[in-house]
C-alpha cells in the first residue's frame, strides 16, 4: 500500500559537513559544501554560521542562484545565559538576520551554546545542573531581545533545544517556551537532539504543533547513544563517536512523525542535518543523499 505523500521543503545545511563555527580550521571549503548540497539533490538550504559563506550582499545571493538553492533559515549558536556575552550575541543576531533578509530566508534558529558542565551530562537529566533563577531570567530577556531584532528584519525566531546546553531536557524546554510569546518566538523541533535528551519528538510536536515553524531532521544511533549516556561521555566526544547517523538508521520514528505532520497540515521546511566530526567521519555527500533517499522512500 503506498504512503500518503507529505509535501514539504527538504533542506540540508553546512553543519552536515561539520561546520558549526565560521573560522574552524577543520571546515571544508564553503564553495564545495554549497555545491555538494545541490549535488545531493537539495533545492533548499540553510545559511550556516555567519561568516562561513561570503557575506557580500551582492555575491551571496548569486552563489545560491547559480546552484539553484533557496535559503530557508540561519542560526545563532551563542551562550544565551551569560550576561557578559550579551553584546556579542546581539551583534551576531543583527548580522545574521540582515543577511537572511537579503537571501529571502524567514527563520532564525536560536540555540543556547553548549557548555562544559552540561556537555558532560548530555542525555542524563538526573545528573545535569540547572541555571539559577537570575541566569534563567536573564536568558529569557535576552531571547526576547533576539526576537525583536529578528522580527524587525521580517525573520521569525524559533527556539531549538540542544544536547549539552541549558535548554536540553523537556522540562527545561517547556519552561523556556512558557515564558515567551508564541507570536514572537516559535519552535524549531530537532528530532535528533530530542532523542538524545529522551524526549518523544512526535508527542512533543502533537502538543506544540501550532508553534512549530521549522524542523531539523536528525537521527541518532541507538547503541552509541546508550553507551555514551551510560559512560557519561561528553557531547562533543559523542559526536566524534558518530552518535548522529543518516536518517532511517537510528531511533527516530519517521513514519509516526510523517503522519503527525500530515494530520496537522505542516507546510514549512525541514532541514536534514547530521552533526559530524570531519576529522573522524567524512562522507557528507553520500550521507546527505542517503538521508534524502530514505525520506523519499517513506512518503516525504
- DSSP-derived secondary structure for 27-79: PPPHHHHHHHHHHTT-SEEE--STTTS---TTHHHHHHHHTT-EEEEEEEEE-
| pLDDT at residue number 279 | 85
Which long-range contacts does 202-205 make (Cβ < 8 Å, 24+ apart)?
202/253, 202/256, 202/257, 202/260, 204/170, 205/257, 205/260, 205/261, 205/264
Helix (H) or strand (E) holding 112: strand 107-112
Spatial separation of the C-alpha atoms in residues 186 and 112, rounded to whole Å? 15
- Provide the grid cell at 117: 558542565
φ, ψ for residue 244 (rounded to 5)? -90, 135
Residue in this structure with the C-alpha cell 531570567, named with its chain if needed: 137
Domain-embedded: residue 3: no
Tell me the β-bridge partners of 86: none
Helix (H) or strand (E) holding 110: strand 107-112
| pLDDT at residue number 6 | 80
Q: Is 103 helix (H, G, I), strand (E, B) or coil?
A: helix
Contact 272, 12 (CB under 8 A): yes
Query: What CATH code is carried by the domain that includes residue 235?
Result: 3.20.20.150
Spatial separation of the C-alpha atoms in residues 27 and 12, rounded to whole Å? 16
Spatial separation of the C-alpha atoms in residues 9 and 7, rounded to whole Å? 7
Domain-embedded: residue 273: yes
Q: What would you report as the CA-atom Rg of the chain, rounded to the nearest whole angstrom?
A: 18
Q: Is 5 helix (H, G, I), strand (E, B) or coil?
A: coil
Contact 205, 159 (CB under 8 A): no
CA 25 to chain centre: 22
- Cβ partners under 8 Å of residue 173, min gap 6: 159, 161, 167, 199
Q: For the chain, how many structural domains are there in total?
A: 1
Q: Is 157 helix (H, G, I), strand (E, B) or coil?
A: strand
Q: What is the extent of the structural domain holding 139? A: 9-297
> How confident is the prediction along the chain (300 residues), in pLDDT tens digits per residue?
566 778 899 999 999 999 999 999 999 999 999 999 999 999 999 999 999 999 999 999 999 999 999 999 999 999 999 999 999 999 999 999 999 999 999 999 999 999 999 999 999 999 999 999 999 999 999 999 999 999 999 999 999 999 999 999 999 999 999 999 999 999 999 999 999 999 999 999 999 999 999 999 999 999 999 999 999 999 999 999 999 999 999 999 999 999 999 999 998 999 999 999 988 867 999 999 999 999 999 999
Domain-embedded: residue 1: no
pTM (predicted TM-score): 0.96
Domain-embedded: residue 224: yes
Q: Any idea what DSSP says for residue 224?
A: H
Q: Which residues of 18-54 are buried (b: 16+ CB within 10 A; e: fewer)?
A: bbbebeeeebeebeebbbbbbebebebbbbbbbebbe
Spatial separation of the C-alpha atoms in residues 247 and 249, rounded to whole Å? 6
The sign of the CA dihedral 171, 173, 174, 175 is positive
Angle between helices 133-152 and 170-179 (to 10 degrees): 60
Amino acid at each position: 500500500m503506498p504512503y500518503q505523500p507529505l509535501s514539504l521543503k527538504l533542506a540540508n545545511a553546512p553543519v552536515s559537513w561539520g561546520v558549526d563555527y565560521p573560522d574552524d580550521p577543520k571546515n571544508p571549503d564553503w564553495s564545495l559544501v554549497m555545491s555538494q548540497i545541490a549535488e545531493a539533490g537539495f533545492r533548499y538550504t540553510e545559511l550556516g554560521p555567519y561568516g562561513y559563506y561570503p557575506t557580500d550582499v551582492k555575491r551571496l545571493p548569486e552563489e545560491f542562484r547559480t546552484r539553484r538553492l533557496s535559503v530557508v533559515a540561519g542560526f545563532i549558536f551563542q551562550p544565551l545565559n551569560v550576561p557578559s556575552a550579551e553584546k556579542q550575541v546581539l551583534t551576531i543576531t543583527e548580522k545574521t538576520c540582515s543577511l537572511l533578509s537579503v537571501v529571502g530566508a524567514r527563520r532564525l534558529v536560536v540555540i543556547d551554546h553548549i557548555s562544559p558542565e552540561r556537555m558532560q551530562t548530555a542525555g542524563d537529566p538526573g545528573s545535569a545542573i540547572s541555571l539559577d533563577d537570575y541566569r534563567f531570567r536573564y536568558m529569557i530577556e535576552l531571547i526576547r531581545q533576539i526576537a525583536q531584532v529578528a522580527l524587525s528584519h521580517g525573520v521569525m525566531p524559533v527556539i531549538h533545544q540542544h544536547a549539552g546546553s541549558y535548554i536540553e531536557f523537556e522540562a527545561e524546554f517547556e519552561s523556556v517556551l512558557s515564558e515567551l510569546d508564541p507570536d514572537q518566538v516559535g519552535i524549531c523541533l530537532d528530532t535528533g537532539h530530542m532523542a538524545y535528551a529522551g524526549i518523544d519528538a512526535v508527542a512533543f510536536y502533537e502538543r506544540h504543533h501550532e508553534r512549530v515553524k521549522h524542523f531539523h531532521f536528525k537521527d541518532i544511533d541507538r547503541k552509541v547513544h546508550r553507551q555514551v549516556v551510560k559512560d557519561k561521555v561528553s557531547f562533543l566526544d559523542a559526536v566524534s563517536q558518530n552518535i548522529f547517523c543518516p536518517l532511517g538508521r537510528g531511533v527516530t520514528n519517521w513514519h509516526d512523525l510523517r503522519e503527525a505532520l500530515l494530520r496537522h497540515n505542516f507546510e514549512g521546511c525541514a532541514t536534514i542535518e547530521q552533526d559530524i566530526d570531519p576529522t573522524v567521519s567524512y562522507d557528507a555527500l553520500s550521507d546527505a543523499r542517503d538521508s534524502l533517499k530514505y525520506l523519499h522512500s517513506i512518503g516525504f
